[in-house]
Amino acid sequence: LSELEALMERMKRLQEDKEDEEASQEEMATRFEKEKKESLLVISGGICALPVPFSFDDEIVSTDVSRYIEDPGFGYKDFARRGEDHLPTFRAQDYTWENHGFSLVNRLYSDIGHLLDEKFRMVYNLTYNTMATHEDVDTTTLRRALFNYVHCMYGIRYDDYDYGEVNQLLERSLKVYIKTVTCYPERTTKRMYDSYWRQFKHSEKVHVNLLLMEARMQAELLYALRAITRHLT
């Protein structure tokens, strides 16, 4: 099977498995912890700590972005150290954008919550219902996996989501690309962009980038707004 056909087959199988039997809460929690720990091993720039036949190490770009920022030392850091047994987890059900963040940000800055919510929803729901040359395809499962994987890298867990879907739908090269774009965008290369979903249209891959950036922004907002809420109460 081609990369595209294999991905569509996995999406179909996931949907059938979900209809037959849903994973228990304990199983989903275990799968999240596994995915969260594995995300720490995915190194941006293309080097992966896991033994896989894939590497971009011959094309690592060291871009100097210090001229564009006030604090050159400011940047993404993994939310936990490797080797730790109990990694910190932000349970989305305890503080969600819809139920908590949206109302607070509107209080702090009138109407900005509506604008942000519209932006999040528009990008998340954007679809042509296509996958490369295939039409009338429901891409909801794939879009949700992309969005939730970014939040997983930031330690955010959704109790009602089965993180086994992430491992089945996002291959290693795509995970490397996601972490690089989301956490270290200055290291992204054209070769990394070309390496995944080779049969997909550019517009579909651009949508992936939009999803990643909006997921990152919402994750950052959730942490910031939760901290403000705790301070106010």
**Residue type for position 207:** H
Q: Taking a C-beta distance cutoff of 8 angstroms, is the pair 211, 123 a contact?
A: yes
Residue 98: the pLDDT is 94
Q: How confident is the model at residue 59 (pLDDT cuts 50, 70, 90)?
A: very low
18 or 144, which is more confident?
Answer: 144
Within a 10 A sphere around the Cβ of 152, how many other Cβ atoms? 23
Q: Is the pLDDT of residue 52 over 50?
A: no
Closest CA to 151 of 84, 66, 92, 85: 92
Residue 61 DSSP label: -
Which pair of structure tokens corresponds to residue 124?
């998340």
Residue 8: the pLDDT is 93
Question: Which residues, 6+ apart, have CB-to-CB distance to 121 below 8 Å?
Answer: none
Q: Is the pLDDT of residue 60 over 60?
A: no
What is the pTM (predicted TM-score) of this model? 0.85
Residue 83 DSSP label: T
Determine the distance from the C-alpha atom of residue 169 to the mean position of all C-alpha atoms in its chain, rounded to a whole number.
Answer: 12
Residue 49: the pLDDT is 33
Q: What is the mean pLDDT of the chain?
A: 85
What digits encode the pLDDT tens for the residues 86-104?
667 899 989 999 999 999 9
Q: Is the pLDDT of residue 194 over 60?
A: yes
Q: Is the pLDDT of residue 218 over 90?
A: yes
Q: Is the pLDDT of residue 56 over 70?
A: no
What digits encode the pLDDT tens for the residues 22-51?
778 888 888 898 888 888 777 655 433 333
What span, in angstroms and rounded, lies between the C-alpha atoms of 2 and 182?
27
Direct distance between the N- and C-terminal alpha carbons of the chain, in angstroms, rounded to an integer: 55
User: Which of 13-17, 63-67, 168-172 has the weakest average pLDDT?
Assistant: 63-67
What digits encode the pLDDT tens for the residues 151-168?
998 989 999 999 999 999
